[in-house]
Structure 1
Amino acid sequence: MRSSSPLPVPHRVAVIAPSPVSMFNLAIPELLFEKVEVDGRPGYELVLCTADPGQVVTTGGYALRIDRGLEAAADADTVMVAGTGDRYAPDPRTVAVVRAAEAAGKRIASICSGAFVLAEAGLLEGRAATTYHGLAAELRRRYPSVDVQGDVLYVQDGQVMTASGYAAGIDLCLHMIRTDYGAAVANTVARLALVAPVRPGGQTQFTQTPLPPVRGNASADTRGWAMRNLDRTLTLADLARHAGVSVRTLTRRFHAETGVSPLQWLLHQRIERAKELLETTSLPMDQVARACGLGTADSLRQHVHRRTGLTPSAYRAVFSRLAPGAGARPTTRPSAPPAPAP
């Protein structure tokens, strides 16, 4: 949950590159954070750093030049550790920097095997965390005090965030953008980067676990149709009828492809749509509730508070993208954000 205190603009992110480092992990933060603008200014300032500045070997055997040392992390608001091929013996200098950053109250994140650095620093003790699913058992074995979640995209536990492997780093960065600047900004960045829209988790101050990745496309058309009709009352029978299958088959497909039931998936989309309307319009609460299919203002309040820890009014006050005095966008049936990629 985002604090109500003003966020530094730009928000400084230091990405630490252990050696050998994953080139893909390093590319993800730059790809997404550089696309964030706030009132015409960059939302993030990104710096790459490493324990031994100069040539840094990648996991693919290439060499990258990184000129900044670990001292760059001292001025960062967020410190992120990229995945590394040497997870057995994390560099003690990197471990010390990460530990000091957490002690200073900075936000800490890792992608893929970068979680081993966080664990070695003691940051994951007693916390929920994740890593690449092929490494989850090893992380659990080496650090038994860590609550390893091996089947999710990313986990946030307090100020510490961990992502599983490969493209899950994209989901984590979009989650960070959404936390810092709101759902509308995150959705815009996802569209600009040509990646799947945000796959959100519970927006509470405790452990946050997102929807699992989509695996398969049998229900993709029905998911897209549902997102274009969020203002309607949609039942299991409606979804099954659109898909041309039985309710039982539809439910089985949704579980196989999204990890949740059709109605749980639909509720996630309704809440995300409500958040975007709260950010980008000044529609009254009852109209927001109807537009996203949550029915009433009371229902909207219940679901938004459960997800974000804020009432709809408070959420709008923190995340609104409207200029003071701007009116609501005229809308009859609001356009939905793009459907998740199958």
Structure 2
Amino acid sequence: MSDTGAIDPNSVARQSRDKAIFQAEENYKSALNAAAKTRESAIQDAVNIKVEAVKQAQAALDLPKKRLNEARDRIEARLRKRELDEARRNKEQILIKAEDTRVKAIKQAEELGKRMIAEADETHRRAIQQTYETEKKMKREAEQAIKNQKEAARNKAEDKRKGRQRSEQEAAEAKIRAQKIAVAERSAREALAKNQQKAKKKKTEPINIAKTPAQPESAVKPITREIPDMPSWPSKVNQPGPAISRTGMIKLTIVHRDVDSDHMVDFENSLREIPDIRIVMVGGTAGEGIQIIVSSEKSVVLSDILRQLPMVENITDRPANILVKLKQAVIFESNA
């Protein structure tokens, strides 16, 4: 407005413009505030919606669980009821079976008791009968035992009497045999002494051998003394008869044309060393050969023992006697 009171259009325009700008700014601020409030309200609404949605979702999730739990509870209740019913029925059946078993056991016990009483009565009756029979049997056995003892005593006395008779007879026979053996041994010792003297005398007889110059060993030949009347050795000397087991008096015949006195002495000594063999007599003639009588109280196969002696050449076992062939005594003389 000028001093003259007139209205300035520019001033009015500026005022209107400023007022419009101010109003626009105020509107802008109001719009911003409203927008902020609207945004905050929208955010809060969104949060509330989200929370509600979560709650609804949780409720939607909890409902099946709840229903599931309720269904499970109902099923468990039905199962428990069914189990209780089954247990009740089983209990009733068990009680019924137990009662039946008790009744059967009572019946069986009564029947068993009756059988046991009957068996006891029968056992008692049999025991009495068996006792009576046992007494009778024992009485018979005692009578038979007494009879057997008397018979055994009589037999024993008779055996003793016969034994005494046999002992007396054997003692008498042994005495006679001892006397015969003593006489035979005395005769054998005398004959042996004579034979040893003869053998010693025969051995010491000089042998006339012509003195000749020394000759080689091939020119020396063995010769033996010949006794023409001595019995000849059996032809089958390598085929002796079967061995004979002998007892009592045994006759040995020494058969050889030249019996060495040393071999003879060794043979007699070997005979004395044989168990259960005793020399009774030694004798003989030139025609029969040397005879040796030995005795043995036990059965012995003497021919097998004699074959083992080192001075024995061969043995022939005969029923009557044993032929003994001693090893030949060799005397060397030079060829003239």
TM-score category, normalised to shorter length: under 0.3
* TM-score calculated relative to the size of structure 2: 0.17
Structure with more of its chain in helix, by fraction:
2
Q: Which structure's CA Rg is the greater one?
A: 2
Relative to the length of structure 1, the TM-score reads: 0.17
